[in-house]
């Protein structure tokens, strides 16, 4: 499939990198000549320097032969015009990254359909919802939901003395029969492994588990973590992400305090969030954090517009006793560093955008995709068609690629944590955990 990407910033670059690895025909348009040159040198994709909202530039990039256009620059108007032009020129699918809430509001002068856009993604809102899910799953470093929320992928750090530490997956399968989960990946010393029965989990490992959401509260204690209920959250930074998160917290009856250094922004937030406490304060002021009761608070989220400030305030909050600390990170290269410096979890509006877009780009019957921030891997939910290669055979006889694992089977209302003897049937939905170099081979099983 020929795909045009408008914008070679971190979102566009990451999408082009992912899709080119899967042998998609990718062309990327970038207005900054230096960034365009960098992209051409780093990726095996066609690169065109120019304005993605310009018809001559779109023509030069081969717009008339493209099936999909992804407009992911940081400028809403460029993304809107690119999609409008692509739609008028017969491109089948158009996706736009749009941050401004005015384009989503009811009564907007131009609707999404009039603009020729199939999907509009608000990165900040997507990121806020992901943050809430992380806060609600106390010990999790990453969370993704599948099957309309009935299945959860949870990332956890394994503590010393944890029930799973020092045990092989086969041993755990025999000893923990009452627990329903699949160990989808083990990360050790920066290396991601799709495990088999003989692999052992060690203290210090980062593990990813798939389980029914109804049983997810039982999972963190296996890795040595305590349970707690989310009651109080402090948000450092009155950014769009911070405001959206506060709205979600208010809806769920969770006590929320917001800190921001801009007095005018504090007034705006106080008017928009009547059930939250808004303070004009610096989130890196240790004395203030202590005075406002960060010690023992259930959740602390740093979401200013500056990554370094977010990491610093997160570390300060952790040092004085905040139970769960989440840092917003814009730069992709910072994401793997977050757990290493002692922050519990990271969220990224750019990665949230990538996840939302990949679901629409995949070949085969893909209904959900979650790219993970700390590791180079994805969880993908597939529909199983009547002619799919995977249908009918026992999992043990499939010769499934070593870089992937079938983690969950959804059969109507039933959630199946599979073993080797289970069979996948037409009409099922299947959640697969995979490394990037295995995804193209895995997709063939569902075609």
Do residues 234 and 327 make contact, with C-beta atoms less than 8 angstroms apart?
A: no
Biggest CA-to-CA distance, the chain: 65
Strands of 142-146's sheet in order across: 142-146, 151-157, 206-212, 182-188, 191-193
CA nearest neighbour of 212 among 163, 153, 252, 132: 153
User: What would the two tokens of residue 364 be?
Assistant: 């085969």
In whole angstroms, give the CA distance from residue 419 to residue 412. 19
Eight-state DSSP code of residue 336? G
Quote the distance between the C-alpha of residue 231 and its chain's center: 24
So what's the pLDDT on residue 108? 63
Alpha helices for 9-167 (secondary structure H): 10-21, 33-42, 55-60, 76-88, 123-136
So what's the pLDDT on residue 119? 86
Alpha helices for 89-230 (secondary structure H): 123-136, 169-175
In whole angstroms, give the CA distance from residue 98 to residue 78. 10
CATH topology for 229-343? Answer: Rossmann fold (3.40.50)
Per-residue pLDDT tens listing for the chain (447 residues): 899 999 999 999 999 998 988 788 999 999 999 999 999 999 999 999 999 999 999 999 999 999 999 999 999 999 999 999 999 999 999 999 999 888 776 656 566 777 788 889 999 998 999 899 889 887 888 888 888 889 999 999 999 999 999 999 999 989 988 899 999 999 998 889 999 889 999 999 999 999 999 988 888 999 998 877 899 999 999 999 999 999 999 999 999 999 999 999 999 999 999 999 999 999 899 998 998 889 989 999 999 999 999 999 999 999 999 999 999 999 888 888 888 888 999 999 998 888 888 877 765 566 677 777 767 788 999 999 999 999 998 999 988 998 999 999 999 999 999 988 999 999 999 999 999 889 889 989 998
Q: 64-79: buried (b, 16+ CB within 10 Å) or exposed (e) per residue?
A: eebebbbbbbebbebb
Where in the chain are the domains? 2-121, 139-223, 229-343, 384-444
**Within this chain, domains 139-223 and 384-444 share the same CATH topology:** yes
Q: What is the CATH number of domain 139-223?
A: 3.30.70.1450
Please state whether beta strands 93-97 and 151-157 pair in parallel, antiparallel, or not at all (unpaired).
unpaired
So what's the pLDDT on residue 184? 93
CA nearest neighbour of 130 among 257, 301, 13, 255: 301
CATH topology for 384-444? Answer: Alpha-Beta Plaits (3.30.70)
Give me the architecture of the 2-121 domain, per CATH: 3-Layer(aba) Sandwich (3.40)
Residue 370's SS3 state is strand
In whole angstroms, give the CA distance from residue 349 to residue 74. 12
So what's the pLDDT on residue 357? 87
């Amino acid at each position: 499939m020929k795909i045009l990407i408008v914008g070679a910033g971190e979102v566009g670059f990451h999408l082009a990198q992912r899709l080119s690895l899967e042998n998609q025909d990718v062309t990327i348009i970038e207005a900054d000549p230096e960034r365009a040159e960098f992209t051409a040198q780093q990726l095996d994709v066609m690169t065109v320097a120019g304005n993605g909202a310009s018809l001559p530039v779109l023509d030069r990039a081969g717009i008339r032969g493209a099936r999909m256009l992804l407009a992911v620059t940081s400028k809403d108007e460029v993304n809107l015009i690119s999609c409008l032009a692509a739609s008028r020129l017969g491109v089948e699918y158009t996706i736009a990254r749009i941050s401004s809430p005015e384009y989503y509001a009811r009564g907007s002068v131009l609707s999404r359909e009039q603009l020729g856009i199939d999907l509009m993604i608000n990165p900040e809102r997507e990121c806020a919802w992901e943050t809430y899910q992380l806060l609600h799953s106390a010990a999790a470093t990453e969370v993704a939901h599948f099957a309309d929320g009935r299945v959860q992928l949870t990332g956890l750090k394994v503590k010393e003395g944890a029930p799973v530490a020092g045990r092989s997956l086969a041993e755990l399968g025999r000893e923990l029969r009452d627990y329903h989960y699949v160990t989808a990946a083990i990360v050790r010393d920066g290396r991601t492994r799709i495990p088999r029965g003989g692999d052992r989990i060690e203290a210090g490992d980062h593990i990813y588990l798939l389980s029914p959401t109804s049983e997810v509260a039982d999972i963190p204690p296996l890795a040595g973590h305590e349970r707690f209920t989310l009651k109080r959250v402090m948000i450092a930074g009155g950014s769009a992400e911070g405001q959206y998160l506060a709205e979600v917290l208010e809806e769920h009856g969770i006590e929320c305090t917001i800190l921001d250094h801009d007095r005018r922004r504090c007034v705006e937030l106080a008017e928009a969030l009547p059930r939250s406490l808004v303070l004009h304060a610096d989130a890196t002021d240790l004395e203030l954090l202590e005075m406002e009761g960060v010690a023992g608070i259930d959740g602390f989220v740093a979401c200013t517009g500056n990554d370094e400030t977010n990491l610093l305030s997160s570390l300060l909050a952790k040092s004085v006793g905040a139970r769960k600390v989440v840092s917003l990170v814009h730069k992709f290269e910072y994401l793997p560093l977050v757990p290493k410096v002692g922050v519990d979890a990271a969220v990224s509006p750019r990665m949230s955008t990538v996840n939302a877009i990949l679901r629409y780009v995949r070949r085969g019957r893909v209904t959900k995709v979650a790219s993970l921030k700390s590791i180079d891997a994805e969880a993908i939910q597939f529909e199983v068609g009547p002619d799919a290669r995977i249908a009918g055979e026992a999992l043990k006889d499939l010769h499934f690629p070593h870089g992937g694992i079938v983690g969950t089977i959804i059969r109507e209302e039933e959630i199946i944590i599979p073993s080797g003897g289970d069979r996948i049937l037409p009409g099922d939905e299947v959640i697969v955990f995979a490394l990037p170099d295995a995804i193209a081979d895995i997709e063939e099983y569902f075609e």
